[in-house]
């Protein structure tokens, strides 16, 4: 039996399932693997119509860098940001996060000049006018006005935790950073290279949409974001 025929038989079997069972399967698949849930919704027109709510929920978790005015002075190449020239205020924001719940997204530092750069990672307001972040040197910024040029306004604190929250950087090395945001509790933490979660900031606005946010200052620094948001 050909692969195409097997796929058609599988789609036919799914289409014959009762709505309640089909929704249950789709919800569990969404919790386990967002890409797999999207593939299920796209399997046929009939399934897509019956799973419209699941497809909408999955779409809310898809991340992408936005165009201006949310992204300034940075080149966007798919999911990767690149700073081609020096200049203040180089930053980018993603699609908005849900206003309730706990979420995480993964960033990969592709290029960071450790002694020169101070890459900022965190969230910004839905309008993109305020940001809360941790820098690659471990400094914290809270409710920073994102007017150009952006001054380095710090809280005067650094991250807590045994290892702090500085992340390594070098032109030939990379760091994987999981940013965890509690939209209901207004807290931000990070996990560096699979280590222990490190609390960074609390007291962020709650119950309102925020956006994943990044800022860079040194030419040729690069960072990429994973395409999907994880629900914690």
How much is the pLDDT for 60? Answer: 76
Kindly provide the residue ranges of all beta strands, DSSP E only, lying in the chain, ordered along the sequence.
75-77, 80-82, 91-93, 102-111, 120-125, 130-135, 140-145, 175-182, 187-192, 198-202, 210-215, 222-225, 230-231
Cβ–Cβ < 8 Å for 134, 121: yes
Please count the CA atoms within 13 angstroms of the CA of 53 that sit on its side-chain side: 8
Specify the range with the lowest mean pLDDT, choosing from 95-99, 141-145, 223-227. Answer: 141-145
Please count the CA atoms within 13 angstroms of the CA of 209 that sit on its side-chain side: 12
pLDDT in tens, 190-216: 998 888 888 999 999 999 999 999 998
Confidence of residue 124 (pLDDT cuts 50, 70, 90): very high
Distance from C-alpha of 88 to C-alpha of 91, rounded to nearest angstrom: 9
Element (H, E) at 156: none
Q: For all residues of the chain together, what is the average pLDDT?
A: 83
CATH architecture, range 75-231: Sandwich (2.60)
Q: Is the pTM of this model over 0.85?
A: no
How much is the pLDDT for 111? Answer: 83
pLDDT in tens, 55-84: 888 777 889 999 988 998 999 999 999 999
Write down the domain spans for the chain: 3-60, 75-231
């Amino acid at each position: 039996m050909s692969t195409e025929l097997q796929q058609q038989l599988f789609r036919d079997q799914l289409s014959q399932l009762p709505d309640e069972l089909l929704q249950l399967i789709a919800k569990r698949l969404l919790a386990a693997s967002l890409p797999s849930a999207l593939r299920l919704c796209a399997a046929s027109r009939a399934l897509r119509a019956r799973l419209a709510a699941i497809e909408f929920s999955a779409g809310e978790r898809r991340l992408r860098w936005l165009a201006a005015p949310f992204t300034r002075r940075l080149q966007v190449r798919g999911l990767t940001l690149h700073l081609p020239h020096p200049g203040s205020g180089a930053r980018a924001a993603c699609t908005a996060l849900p206003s309730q719940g706990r979420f995480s997204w993964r960033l990969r530092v592709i290029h960071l000049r450790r002694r020169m750069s101070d890459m900022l990672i965190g969230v910004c307001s839905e309008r993109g006018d305020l940001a809360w972040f941790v820098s690659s040197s471990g400094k914290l910024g809270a409710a920073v006005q994102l007017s150009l040029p952006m001054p380095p306004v710090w809280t005067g604190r650094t991250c807590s935790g045994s290892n702090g929250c500085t992340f390594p950087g070098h032109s030939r090395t990379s760091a994987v950073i999981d940013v965890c945001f509690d939209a209901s509790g207004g807290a931000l933490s990070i996990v560096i290279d699979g280590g222990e979660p490190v609390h960074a900031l609390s007291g962020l606005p709650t119950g309102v949409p925020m956006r994943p946010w990044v800022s860079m200052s040194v030419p040729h620094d690069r960072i990429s974001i994973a395409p999907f948001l994880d629900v914690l």
